[in-house]
Structure 1
């Protein structure tokens, strides 16, 4: 396939297996496919020795200098680099256009440039910089599927997530989220954690979709990993007011801590573990940031604290107030590396 032949996101993995391009043009108004495509390219590039990834933004006040330095300068940290340029609406000034045009004329074998943004107008596709990059780049068409294409996308996505949907459940899910792939993906991820491998009926799906309080627990763990202290405090109060059993939150925290420990102990196996734990590309940056902030010792403390939490929460004599106090402390430990919880870790577990 020629470098400038357009492909769809579902053809990207096959294209990457054939080899990497000097550039990638990923433009469209559907965010999930766009960012998952970028993640796939970056992952494939890392496997080929492109160890450094630099992310630039066209709306930055120093965009011209940063892009010029990135494309023309040498890195102190890696000989092969990936430049991810967020171009927003794709409208760039003369200086940016000239820099991109020059790279299109003289690409480097040690650079991969990924340009992405919202759907481009015809006039933008006729600019010199776009034509120059198109000659050396793989273009990926990003558009939200509809009709049969959406059905096939949803069926494939559910299978990848380990979710079996009855035909009427698949249609129900499609009708309620048509055009919003990110929302569909999130629903499938939640269903994969809330149900076993048996087919999910439309009745079960309907119950799951209206049971928003259970979904809030997954949003809670996301907020914890992102270090959103005030959001976590608010969500904990809301879950408590709604009468959510502490044991359910305890289960979610236990799962999260176990995954963090596995990822931290085997950093070279992260791609495989992300797949095993069904941590989608859209969530991976949040998890990676958490791993960077937490030390091995802090993760081990979190494992001990969650063990204490499980014992106390499941204990028939434990008061609800103590359970929620322990949950709050566990969340604090994961969000604040400096939190002092020694008094909890020395508590009697029985």
Structure 2
């Protein structure tokens, strides 16, 4: 059955999992919901999880084989089907429909889709509704932002006055990932204290009002080229030195490559001690472009560093603009040539 966000929280607390779940919509929210479901599965004794990544040449027979497979080590299994586009195609729709028609006992199918609209709905998703549950996670509408921020603060053990929530909503400018990052920072800075009022919120997020290298890289990896270039221009106008900025940029590109090279992204992210919001930031970036693109970006960043230090000819700030544009929008990677 289709569930709204409140019903989803209740469903997570159930003492048994349904046969199939479809989690679709805004990527950050879908990934968090999928993490929560996997955690509940572990609590309920699901000792085995099989990940099925639907790529261009995915064999949909793998779903049937995984569903029918037996395990010597776990009585309950979770099939983690990742469908980024939300479109299974004809063969995929048949495979999912077949699973829903006769779900194996002690097997739960989790389908996560990072793109979703009314056009994605089809006969197969109706079968999911009949056999299990589906939840569509949408970004807050403009008038919902303050309430969403208040609820997310509460989920981190924090509270804020309405004015403080409004202030943070204005500061993040409708950017869901930025809002999540700010709230994660508040959870660290404000842990164990009383309710946050507007004045204290202003102080706690004051760094968001100025340009800094952290926001430059975050905007670039998030794919927000316009904001990243504004931050870069702001840093230059404030008289920031390019050399330390490039040092941080190289550091973050090296981190991206370590994550790209890792066999297990989540394990590497944990090793790097990434907050959940930053883990999702890099996950999104690496989905937008292959490892080779980030390797080319790192090579260009090293060249810009040499230019800034006078060891090579060129306009370092102009090259930095081209690099940031290519990081944010891989289709602009011709700028690296």
Same-fold status (TM-score > 0.5): yes
SS in 1 for 2:18: coil
Residue 76 of structure 2 corresponds to 80
What is the CA distance between 1:82 and its match in structure 2?
1.0
State how far apart, in whole Å, the 1-side matches of 2:276 and 2:65 are: 32
Residue 149 of structure 1 corresponds to 144
Residue 23 of structure 1 corresponds to 20
1:49 to 36, 45, 54: 45
State how far apart, in whole Å, the 2-side matches of 1:240 and 1:278 are: 19
What is the CA distance between 1:115 and its match in structure 2?
1.2
1:131-190 CA distances to partner (integer Å, 9 max, x unpaired)?
222211111121112245322221121233344444433212112335432221111111
Change (3 A) 1:136 1:179: farther
User: How large is the Cα RMSD of the aligned pairs?
Assistant: 3.8
What pairs up with 1:154-303 in 2 under 5 angstroms?
Answer: 154-195=149-190, 197-198=193-194, 199=196, 201-202=198-199, 203-210=202-209, 237-238=244-245, 280=276, 283=279
State how far apart, in whole Å, the 1-side matches of 2:12 and 2:159 are: 29
Change (3 A) 1:79 1:55: same
Change (3 A) 1:240 1:59: closer
Residue 9 of structure 1 corresponds to 5
1:296-331 CA distances to partner (integer Å, 9 max, x unpaired)?
xxxxxxxxxxxxxxxxxxxxxxxxxxxxxxxxxxxx
> Scaled by the length of structure 1, what TM-score is found?
0.56
What is the CA distance between 1:105 and its match in structure 2?
0.6
SS in 1 for 2:60: helix
Aligned residues: 233
What is the CA distance between 1:61 and its match in structure 2?
2.5
Tell me if structure 2 keeps the 8 A contact 1:27–1:119: yes
SS in 2 for 1:135: helix
Residue 125 of structure 2 corresponds to 130
State how far apart, in whole Å, the 1-side matches of 2:28 and 2:90 are: 30
Provide structure 1 residue ranges, at least 5 long, that are not aligned to the other structure: 220-234, 242-269, 271-276, 287-350
Tell me if structure 2 keeps the 8 A contact 1:163–1:188: no
Residue 32 of structure 2 corresponds to 36
What is the CA distance between 1:73 and its match in structure 2?
2.0
State how far apart, in whole Å, the 1-side matches of 2:278 and 2:49 are: 17
Residue 86 of structure 2 corresponds to 90
What is the CA distance between 1:280 and its match in structure 2?
4.4
State how far apart, in whole Å, the 1-side matches of 2:274 and 2:120 are: 37
State how far apart, in whole Å, the 1-side matches of 2:212 and 2:159 are: 23
